Structure 1
Amino acid sequence: MDRRQFLKFSGFITVSVASTGLVGCGGSSSPAAANLPAATGAGWKFPQSVASGDPRPDSIMLWTRALPAGADSVAAAASGNDVSIRLVVTATDNASLLGSNAALAGALLVDEKLPLQAQFDNTVRHKVTGLTAGTTYFYQFVAGDVRSNVGRFKTAPAADADVSQLQFAYMTCQDWSINHWGAMSNMATENLDFIVHLGDYIYETVGETFQVGAVETRHDQLVLPDGAFKSGTSGAKYATTLADYRYLYKKYRTDSRLQALHERFAFIAIWDDHEFSDDCWQDAETYEGTFNADGSDLHQPARRRNANQAWFEYMPADVSLDTASTSFQNIKIYRDFQFGKLMQLVMTDERLYRADHVIPEAAINPATGVAVGSIGARYLVPQDVFNSVEAQKMAGGVQIGADPLSIVGMLGTTQRQWWMDKMKSATSTWKLWGNEVSLLRMGLNGVDAIATLLALGAVPTLASTIGSTAAAVGGNLPVAAAIVAASTAGATAAIAQAAAMAIAGAGSSAAAQGAAAVGAGLTTAQAGITVAAYNAAVAAAPAGAAAQAGSAAQVIAFGWIKADIQAHKADSVFVAASGKKAALAPFFTRFLVNCDQWDGYNSERKALMSHLKTNNISNVVALTGDIHAFFAGTVSDDFDAANGGTPVMVDLVTAGISSDSFFTYLKAAAAALGDISTLVTYPVAVPVPGVGTLNLDFDLLDYTMGKAAPTVDGLLDQLRVQLRGALAAKGLPEVQLDPTVAAVMAGLKASSAFSVNLLALAQQLASLGNNPWLKHVNTDAQGYTVVTLTPGKLTAQFKQANKLVGSNAPANVVARVTTATVTAGSAAVAIS
C-alpha cells in the first residue's frame, strides 16, 4: 500500500509491527483508535467471526466485524457507536482452541487497539508486519469482555527458502441459494498451508432461475436491502447498492462452515464476475434485455464501485481502494506471492479491465433481426464468425494506434505486461496462476456432432429393415444386411440384391467380395460398405439374429450415413430425409462453447502462451474456477494450429463448492434444441424396488466435450453421484444410500438399454474427437481441489461432493477423488 492510500484509509486499514517480546495488555493503539472509547461489557458479538489473508513471509491481513449483542447480524451497522476493540496475536500453539472463543494462551506478539467504525459497517482490517517466515500464528479480537473465535494463519516461507512441500486448497463458486456447503466442512479438516479463492464468493442475484432448486434448510431465503428487479417489477433481483453487496458478504459469512475455513487458514482471494454482475466486463452488466437504447451494454460505474468497496471491506486482501476516485477502476487486486524457491503464485483480475465480448450480446443476428443475447455472444459461438470479428476489431485498433489486444483482451495492457514480467522474472520452480476462467479450448464440431446423432438415430430403423429383408431372402441375415447397405448407399433394388448374392458366393476374402460387388454393378465406395455390413452380420451370428441386424446397422449408419453427412453437410440426402434440415442447418459449423472464458479472448491467450514458449518458461500451471466443473488439460500456444498446437502449460479447473453444475445449465439450454440435446443429456429411467422409477438425465456432455470412451463400469460410475442424490431426494436415509446405489447399478449393468445402447451412444460421442487436450472432464459436479506441491511434481486432488440428503448436507461429503499429476519439466497432465 503506498503512503497516499495508507493516509486515505488510516481510519480503516491499520498496521502494527509484531514485537519479539512480551506485549502488555492493550500495549499500543492505532492513531484512528486513540480517540475512540473502548468497547466495554459483555454486550458484543462477532457474527461473521474472523479471517486472515495474503500471507507473506513477514505480514498478514487480519479481519473481523463486531456488533452490539442486540444488533441484527446482517443489517447495516448503526451510526454513532464507534469504539475501539483489541487484537491479540501469539506464536504459541493454540490449535486446540480452534472453533472456540477461549482466551489465547502464550506470550502476545501483538496487543493492539483498533477502530470499529460504522462507516465501514463495523468491519476491521488490520495488517500485522514484522512476522517470522514459515511460522504459524494464532489471533483473536476482543470487544469489551467478549472474545471472537480463535483464528490461525501461517506466514509464507522466506523467498530464498528451500521448501520441500506446500499443500493448499483452491475453491470457487459458493452460491448460498442452491445445493449445500458441506464441502467446506471437509476442507476445514485438511492439512493446508492456505486457501486460494478464485471468485464468485457471493452471487449478486437472488431468485434467479439457476438459484431455484433444492437447497439445505440452514440457508434461508436472501432478502436484499434494496435490490433491482432483473425484469419488470417482480421475480429475480440483483444487488446494486453498497448496502446490498455488504449484506451478501455478511449473510454468506454467517455460515459456521465458511467461518471455520477463515478461522483456520489464510485466504488468497481474487474475484470473478458474481462479486459484481454475471459475465460482466469492466463496469458493464450483460443480463438479457438490459441493453441501452443504442444497443450497447448497460454501464453502471456506481454499482461497480459499490461492489468494489464491499469486496474490499469484507475480504482480508492486502490491496488498496480509492473511494474518492470517480472511476470504477478504483481498486487494484491483481498481485503475486512468493513461497520460497518452490512457488510463485500470480493472481490476476479478469473482469475489471477486460474488453467487451468479441461478439456483443446486443449484436443483431441477421437471421432473426434481434439481438443474439448470450447464445451466440458468450455461448455456442460460431468459431468462423468469432475469428472474423476479432480480426476486424484488432485491425481497427491498429488503425487508431491503440493496443489491439486491449480491444479484444481480458487483462488490459498494464496487467498483461505485469503478468509477462512476473512469469519471466520468476525464479521459483513452479509458476502457478490464480486464473478465474478456463484457458482450455472447449470447442464443438457441429458437422461431426450432427452426423453422429443422425447416424445413431438411423440404427434402429436400419436394424428393423435388415430383419424384414431377411424374411424375403430365406432368413439369410448377412445377405439382408448387404442388400440394405447397398440400398442405403444409393444402389437400385435390383443391383443391391445382385451385389449381395455375389458377395455371398465370393467366399470369405474381403477383396474377392468387393470385386464381386463391383462386378454386380456397385461403385467401389458402395461395394466397401456393402461388404462391411455383410461381414459384420456374419461375425455377430453366434449372438443371434438381433445382434446380427444391430451390428450391421451400426456399420451402415457410421460407415455410410455419417460419412455422407460429414461430406455434404446440410445438402446430404440423409439430412433431407430426417425432415429436420431447416432446424439443423445452423449447426453445421464449429462452435466455441464458452466465450466468456479465454476462448473468447483467443488472441490475448495466444500472446501469453507465445511469451511462455519464446522465453522457455516452464512449470506453469493455472488454478481455475468459474465453470462449475472439473477439467484438466494442456494449454497450447495456438489451439487453431495443426494438431492443436504445442502445449506450453497446464490448466486445472475446479468445480464450484455449491453452484449448480455446467451440465445442469447446458441441459436446460439444450432442451430447446430437439435432437441436438442428445449431445448434452440422455434420459435414463431407473426402477428401484420400494422407491419407484427414478427419471435421471445422464450426462453425455462429458463425452461430447472430449472425455475418453467409457466402459460399462465407467458409465455406471459416472451415474453414481446423481443416482445417490436422486435416492436421497426420495427420502432414503443416508445409511441406506450406498448399498442401494450398488444394487441398482448392478441391475443397470444387466440392462441392454444401458450397457449396450447408452454405452454405444457415449462411445460414439467420445469418438467425435473434440478437444483432445482435455485429459479429465466432469461437468456435473460440486467440490474443491487440494494441491500438493514438491520440487518434482504437482498433484491436484479433485474432490467431488455428494449431493443433498433430504434438506441437509451429506454426512459422507466426498463422493470421489480424481488425481491430476503434473511432473516438473513437462507441459502435460496425467489422470488417475
Structure 2
Amino acid sequence: MTPAHTSHSPELRAAARHFGRRTFLTATSAAAALAFAVNLPGTAHASTVNGRKITENPFTLGVASGDPQPASVVLWTRLAPRPYEPGSGMPDARVQVQWEVAHDAAFARIAKRGSVTAFPEFNHSVHVEATGLEADRVYHYRFRTGTWISPAGRTRTAPAPGAVLGRLKLAAVSCQAYHDGYFTAYRHLADEDLDVVFHLGDYLYEYAVNSAGGARNYTDRVLPAHFNRETVTLEDYRLRYGLYKSDPDLQAAHAAHPFVVTWDDHETENNYADETPENGVPPEEFLLRRASAYRAYWENQPLRAPQQPAGPDMQLYRRLHFGQLAQFDVLDTRQYRSDQAYADRAHVSGPESEDPSRTMTGAQQERWLIDGWRASTAVWNVVPQQVNFSRRSLDLTDDPKLSMDAWDGYPASRDRVLDGAKSAGVENLMVLTGDVHVAYAYDIKRDYETPGAEIVGTEIVATSVSSGKDGADKPATWDTYTTANPHMKLYNGRRGYVTVTLDQQQARADFRAVAAVTTPGAPVSTIASFVTQAGNPGLQQV
C-alpha cells in the first residue's frame, strides 16, 4: 500500500472538520458538502461565452458513447483546449455545444440533433442522452461549438426488448496505468467488430506520473510537474483524466464502440473499502477525496443522469438488456463493501473473513442483483464486475492463502450471490472480471475441494491494458496457481483484452494480447480461446 501524497492534506483536513460522515450524508448538509468538494451549476456562473471566442481546438479529448439502450445512447465529450493545465484552457463560463447523430459517416442523413450546455462546474463536460433512435442500429455522432467540429464517433443502440438475436460480440478491458506503458491494445480494440465494450475498472491510477510518462519514457515531450504527485483533490483527478483521455489509442477505441463502464479502486485510491481508505486518514477526510474522485469520474465517462454523484455517493450499478440473448448486471464492489479482513493481507480463510455479515456489494445491491435474475428471461446472464470471483489459492498448502481484496475475502457474500443465482434458475452465468493484470478463465464452483463438483458458471478475467508493464505468458506464479487451482483453465500475464461472442448455443472467449506495451505499436494475437455451452457450464479450449 502506498501512502497518499500529503501536499493537499491541510486543505482537506480543514474542510473535513466541518463534515463528519453522518453530517456529510444528511439531507440538510449534503448540498453544502457538495458545494465544497464539487460545485453544482448555479447563479455564480450565469454568463455564457460564444463558442466562436474559443481560439484553440476544444475537442482534444475526443468523443465517446455508452450505456446503449434500444432507443437511446449517451454521447460524451469535454471541452479542453489545454487538457494538461488547470481549467483546461476554458473560460469560467457556460458554452453551448451542438450535437448531431447521423445514419451515415458522412452526416448526410441526420437522425437527431440538438444543443446542450457545457458547464464550468462540470469541467465543461457534455453528456447527451440521444433519444428517439432505432433499436440495434449503427449511428455516427459528433459535436460542434463555434467553428470547431469534434472527431466523429461510431456507436450502436441495443436491440429491442424481446428481440431474438443470432449473436452478440462484446469486449472486456481493465487496468490502464498510463505510467506503465502505451495503450496499444486499444488501437487494436478499435478495429474489432464489436457491439459493446465493458470497462471493468482502474480506468486511471492515482499514482504519480513523472515528466517522461513513466515506462513510456517520452523523449519528445515533458509532462507538467503537477502530474508527478498522487491525486487527492478534484483538480488533481480532472487533470489526470485529461492526461489519460488525451491518449490517441484510447480515443480511437471510444470513437469506435459504445462503452459500459464501472470503476474499481484506483479511480479513487488503492484498495479502499466504502468509507475506509488504505492509509488510515479519518473517514470524513477520505470521503471528501472520494467525492472529488467520483465527480471527476462522472464528468469524464459516457454515463447517464442517474449516475451523477451526490457528494461522496454515486449509484454506478445498473442493468442493461440486449434482446433475449443477454442481461448485463454491472456491479460496484468498492463503494459498499466491508473493510478487507486481516488488514488486507493475503491470509488463510478464517473467522474474520468468514463472518456472514461481511458483504462485497452491500445488502441493497445484492437484493437488486438477485431480483434482476429472478425477472430475467435472457439466455446469458452476465455480471461485469471488478475483482476475482472464483476461488484462487495462492499457494499449494492444504489451507492456502487467499486474497482478502477479492471475493475470497468475502465468502459468505459470494455464497449468497450463488444461492441467489440458483434460486432464480440462472443456467448460464458468466462473470466478467478485471483488477489482477493477468488473464484467467475459470469454471465457477460452489465446492472447490471436491474433484468433479458441479460447475455453476464461467468467469472470464480480462488482463490489463498496460498495468504491470509488458508481462509474460507465464508469470512467476504460473506453476503454483495452475496446480493449486484445477478449475483455472487459463493463466497468462501478457497485456490486452478479451472478446466474448454470445449466441443461442454457446459463448466463446478469445483472449487477445499485444507483444509489449513499453514500446508503441506492438502487434496483437489471440493467445487462447474457450467455449462454454448454453445449459452445460464448463470451459473447453478450442
- Given the two structures, how large is their TM-score scaled by the length of structure 2? 0.85
Q: Which residue of 2 aligns with 1:593?
A: 402
Cα distance, 1:113 vs structure 2: 2.0
CA 1:251–1:442: 2 relative to 1, 3 Å:
same
Q: Which residue of 2 aligns with 1:54?
A: 67
| Pairing 1:246–2:209 present | no
Q: Which residue of 2 aligns with 1:271?
A: 263
Q: Quick one: which amino acid aligns to residue 536 of structure 2?
A: S
Q: Which residue of 385, 388, 397 maps to 2:351?
A: 388
| Pairing 1:75–2:86 present | yes
Q: Which residue of 2 aligns with 1:442?
A: 392
Q: Quick one: which amino acid aligns to residue 259 of structure 1?
A: Q
Q: Which residue of 427, 436, 461 maps to 1:653?
A: 461
Are 2:434 and 2:463, in contact at CA under 8 Å, matched by a contact in 1? yes
Q: Which residue of 1 aligns with 2:16?
A: none
Are 1:41 and 1:145, in contact at CA under 8 Å, matched by a contact in 2? no
Deviations 1:739-763 (A, max 9, x none): xxxxxxxxxxxxxxxxxxxxxxxxx
| Pairing 1:169–2:175 present | no
How far apart, in 2, do the equivalents of 1:172 and 1:130 lie?
A: 32
- 1:316-327, aligned counterparts within 5 Å? 316-320=302-306, 325=310
Q: Quick one: which amino acid aligns to residue 90 of structure 1?
A: A
User: Aligned with 2:129: secondary structure?
Assistant: strand
How far apart, in 1, do the equivalents of 2:363 and 2:452 lie?
A: 27
How far apart, in 1, do the equivalents of 2:471 and 2:303 lie?
A: 33
How far apart, in 2, do the equivalents of 1:218 and 1:163 lie?
A: 49
- 1:438-587, aligned counterparts within 5 Å? 438-447=388-397
- Given the two structures, how large is their TM-score scaled by the length of structure 1? 0.57
Are 1:444 and 1:590, in contact at CA under 8 Å, matched by a contact in 2? no
| Pairing 1:412–2:362 present | yes
Q: Identity, % of aligned pairs?
A: 27
Q: Quick one: which amino acid aligns to residue 154 of structure 2?
A: R
Q: Which residue of 2 aligns with 1:702?
A: 478
CA 1:810–1:44: 2 relative to 1, 3 Å:
closer
Cα distance, 1:651 vs structure 2: 0.3
How far apart, in 2, do the equivalents of 1:424 and 1:388 lie?
A: 32
How far apart, in 1, do the equivalents of 2:222 and 2:408 lie?
A: 35
User: Aligned with 1:261: secondary structure?
Assistant: helix
Are 2:66 and 2:75, in contact at CA under 8 Å, matched by a contact in 1? yes
Cα distance, 1:315 vs structure 2: 0.6
Are 1:217 and 1:808, in contact at CA under 8 Å, matched by a contact in 2? no
| Pairing 1:90–2:102 present | yes
User: Aligned with 1:88: secondary structure?
Assistant: strand
Are 2:395 and 2:401, in contact at CA under 8 Å, matched by a contact in 1? no
User: Aligned with 2:431: secondary structure?
Assistant: strand
Deviations 1:350-397 (A, max 9, x none): 0000000122x2xxxxxxxxxxxxxxx332x123xxx22234x44xxx
Cα distance, 1:698 vs structure 2: 6.8
Q: Which residue of 613, 623, 644 maps to 2:432?
A: 623
Are 2:213 and 2:223, in contact at CA under 8 Å, matched by a contact in 1? no
How far apart, in 1, do the equivalents of 2:322 and 2:429 lie?
A: 15
CA 1:263–1:382: 2 relative to 1, 3 Å:
same
How far apart, in 2, do the equivalents of 1:192 and 1:257 lie?
A: 16
Higher helix share: 1
Q: Which residue of 48, 51, 72 maps to 1:39?
A: 51
User: Aligned with 1:610: secondary structure?
Assistant: helix
CA 1:341–1:74: 2 relative to 1, 3 Å:
farther
Deviations 1:583-632 (A, max 9, x none): xxxxxx62233221111111111111122234431111111111011111
Q: Which residue of 1 aligns with 2:19?
A: none
CA 1:207–1:72: 2 relative to 1, 3 Å:
closer
How far apart, in 2, do the equivalents of 1:34 and 1:263 lie?
A: 32
Q: Which residue of 1 aligns with 2:372?
A: 422
Q: Quick one: which amino acid aligns to residue 280 of structure 2?
A: F
| Pairing 1:809–2:523 present | no
Q: Which residue of 1 aligns with 2:18?
A: none
User: Aligned with 1:284: secondary structure?
Assistant: coil
Q: Which residue of 1 aligns with 2:15?
A: none
How far apart, in 2, do the equivalents of 1:207 and 1:48 lie?
A: 19
Are 1:172 and 1:654, in contact at CA under 8 Å, matched by a contact in 2? yes
Cα distance, 1:37 vs structure 2: 5.0
Cα distance, 1:250 vs structure 2: 1.1
Are 2:49 and 2:93, in contact at CA under 8 Å, matched by a contact in 1? no
Ranges in structure 2 where 5+ consecutive residues have no aligned partner: 1-33
Are 2:200 and 2:262, in contact at CA under 8 Å, matched by a contact in 1? yes
How far apart, in 1, do the equivalents of 2:359 and 2:268 lie?
A: 19
Q: Which residue of 2 aligns with 1:257?
A: 249
Are 1:204 and 1:275, in contact at CA under 8 Å, matched by a contact in 2? yes
How far apart, in 2, do the equivalents of 1:663 and 1:591 lie?
A: 25
Cα distance, 1:309 vs structure 2: 0.4
State the superposition RMSD in angstroms.
3.1
Q: Which residue of 1 aligns with 2:540?
A: 830
| Pairing 1:283–2:249 present | no
Q: Quick one: which amino acid aligns to residue 416 of structure 1?
A: E
How far apart, in 1, do the equivalents of 2:213 and 2:273 lie?
A: 25
Q: Quick one: which amino acid aligns to residue 355 of structure 1?
A: S
How far apart, in 2, do the equivalents of 1:136 and 1:218 lie?
A: 40
CA 1:246–1:618: 2 relative to 1, 3 Å:
same
- 1:608-619, aligned counterparts within 5 Å? 608-619=417-428
Higher strand share: 2
Cα distance, 1:643 vs structure 2: 3.5
How far apart, in 1, do the equivalents of 2:133 and 2:246 lie?
A: 30
User: Aligned with 1:828: secondary structure?
Assistant: strand
| Pairing 1:217–2:209 present | no
Cα distance, 1:314 vs structure 2: 0.6
Cα distance, 1:831 vs structure 2: 1.6
Deviations 1:420-441 (A, max 9, x none): 1112211011111102111121
CA 1:120–1:273: 2 relative to 1, 3 Å:
same
| Pairing 1:311–2:322 present | no
Are 2:111 and 2:133, in contact at CA under 8 Å, matched by a contact in 1? no
How many residues of Structure 1 are paired with residues of Structure 2 in the alignment? 502
How far apart, in 2, do the equivalents of 1:117 and 1:185 lie?
A: 31
> Higher relative CO (CA 8 A, sep ≥ 6), structure 1 or 2?
2
CA 1:701–1:435: 2 relative to 1, 3 Å:
same
Q: Which residue of 1 aligns with 2:28?
A: none
Ranges in structure 1 where 5+ consecutive residues have no aligned partner: 1-7, 14-32, 95-103, 228-235, 362-376, 395-403, 448-588, 665-696, 707-765
Q: Which residue of 2 aligns with 1:153?
A: 155
- 1:721-736, aligned counterparts within 5 Å? none
How far apart, in 1, do the equivalents of 2:436 and 2:127 lie?
A: 31
Deviations 1:480-503 (A, max 9, x none): xxxxxxxxxxxxxxxxxxxxxxxx
Are 1:12 and 1:125, in contact at CA under 8 Å, matched by a contact in 2? no
Cα distance, 1:258 vs structure 2: 0.7
Q: Quick one: which amino acid aligns to residue 57 of structure 1?
A: P
Q: Quick one: which amino acid aligns to residue 127 of structure 2?
A: R
How far apart, in 2, do the equivalents of 1:422 and 1:221 lie?
A: 49
Cα distance, 1:800 vs structure 2: 1.5
- 1:225-236, aligned counterparts within 5 Å? 225=226
How far apart, in 1, do the equivalents of 2:389 and 2:225 lie?
A: 34
How far apart, in 2, do the equivalents of 1:222 and 1:345 lie?
A: 39
Deviations 1:707-727 (A, max 9, x none): xxxxxxxxxxxxxxxxxxxxx
CA 1:322–1:213: 2 relative to 1, 3 Å:
closer
Are 2:52 and 2:147, in contact at CA under 8 Å, matched by a contact in 1? yes
Q: Which residue of 287, 298, 304 maps to 1:301?
A: 287
- 1:634-783, aligned counterparts within 5 Å? 634-639=443-448, 642-643=450-451, 645-660=453-468, 699-706=475-482, 766=483, 770-778=484-492, 780-783=493-496
Cα distance, 1:126 vs structure 2: 1.2
CA 1:218–1:107: 2 relative to 1, 3 Å:
farther
Q: Which residue of 2 aligns with 1:722?
A: none
Q: Quick one: which amino acid aligns to residue 189 of structure 2?
A: M
Cα distance, 1:280 vs structure 2: 1.3
